[in-house]
Amino acid sequence: MTAVVSRRGAPPTTASDLDAALTDGHLTVQYQPVVDLKTGRIVAAEALARLRSGADMIAPDAFIPLAEATGQIARIDRLVLAAAIPQAVLWRELFPGRPLSVGVNLSVAGLHDETLPRYVEQTCAEAGLPGNALVLEMTETVLSEPGTGHEAVLRALAELGCNITMDDFGTGYSSLTHLRRFPVAGIKVDRTFVWDLDGGGDEARLAPALVRFGRDLGVHVVAEGIETESQLAALRAADCPFGQGFLLARPLSPADLLAVLRSETTLIPAPRTEPVR
């Protein structure tokens, strides 16, 4: 059931190509589960933009840079929100005992738009999704531009109940500053620190330290990029609450994710040593 991302399809190379692809409905969304590392159960899913090209699926690194350069990334933000919010409503209706959340990445351009909070509020209200079921993820790059109005936009989103989460946490120079400036409710420990868990030495101490730091602050903590059983074991030993990565689950189509949810299958795998690529 795993959705495979292929780059064989021809990605858009111009602004008009990308505009046509978006207008024609070629953008699709896959969902990578976020897993409770104690139980192996899915607690949320991150919405990931893809472009269809014939029978192939184009990975985001083949079109997101173009979208950023041409100013169409904010449009993609909204298209993903429009797709992901009703999906989360469906999950919560089908599995009422599991308050599942959905995560959506926001771009710099998206946060420049002062109307974004109103759009999120209307879209959630029309679909019937409570604000606290929406996780809005952004990297330090997005948060590193002072005086842009991002603080006001993020504050308005937080007031709707949305969970503001800092992605790739620990990779920038201003992580702690951003935690003070913005209404951050969660952090995602960057995959590079998770991969360092396999190497031993001082580098292997960073991911557990970031997990402890996040827990001490009282924010949600997700470890990204889990690929080996040893990484998973180290994170569980560090009492990391949530995890995401190919070892647990690849991005899935909405239908495949529903099938996994219905199966009640635990996503904590049997022991293995090789990375899952």
CATH at residue 125: 3.20.20.450
CA-to-CA distance for 5 and 59, rounded, in angstroms? 6
Residue 5 covered by a domain = no
Residue 144 covered by a domain = yes
Mean pLDDT of the chain: 89
- Tell me the pLDDT band of 1, cut-offs 50, 70 and 90: very low
Residue 99 covered by a domain = yes
Number of residues written out for the chain: 277
Total number of domains in the chain: 1
Residue 61, domain extent:
18-260
CA-to-CA distance for 216 and 219, rounded, in angstroms? 8
Residues 222, 243: contact at Cβ < 8 Å?
A: yes
Could you report the per-residue pLDDT of 134-183, keeping only the tens digit for each?
Answer: 999 988 766 666 556 688 899 999 999 999 999 988 776 556 777 777 88
- Cβ partners under 8 Å of residue 86, min gap 6: 127, 129
Residue 50 covered by a domain = yes
In this predicted structure, the answer to whether residue 248 has a pLDDT above a threshold of 50 is yes
CA-to-CA distance for 92 and 150, rounded, in angstroms? 30
Report the percentage of the chain scoring pLDDT > 70. 88
Q: Which amino acid is at 213?
A: F
- The residue ranking higher by pLDDT, 50 or 150, is 50
Could you report the per-residue pLDDT of 180-213, keeping only the tens digit for each?
Answer: 778 899 999 999 999 999 987 889 999 999 999 9
pTM higher than 0.85 for the full model?
Answer: yes
Q: Which amino acid is at 90?
A: L
pLDDT at 5: 45
Residue 7 covered by a domain = no
- Tell me the pLDDT band of 7, cut-offs 50, 70 and 90: very low
Query: 38 by DSSP, 3-state: which?
Result: coil
In this predicted structure, the answer to whether residue 34 has a pLDDT above a threshold of 70 is yes
Q: What is the distance, to the nearest Å, from the Cα of residue 133 to the centroid of all Cα atoms in its chain? A: 13
Give the helix, strand, coil percentages of the chain, each rounded to 5. 45, 20, 35
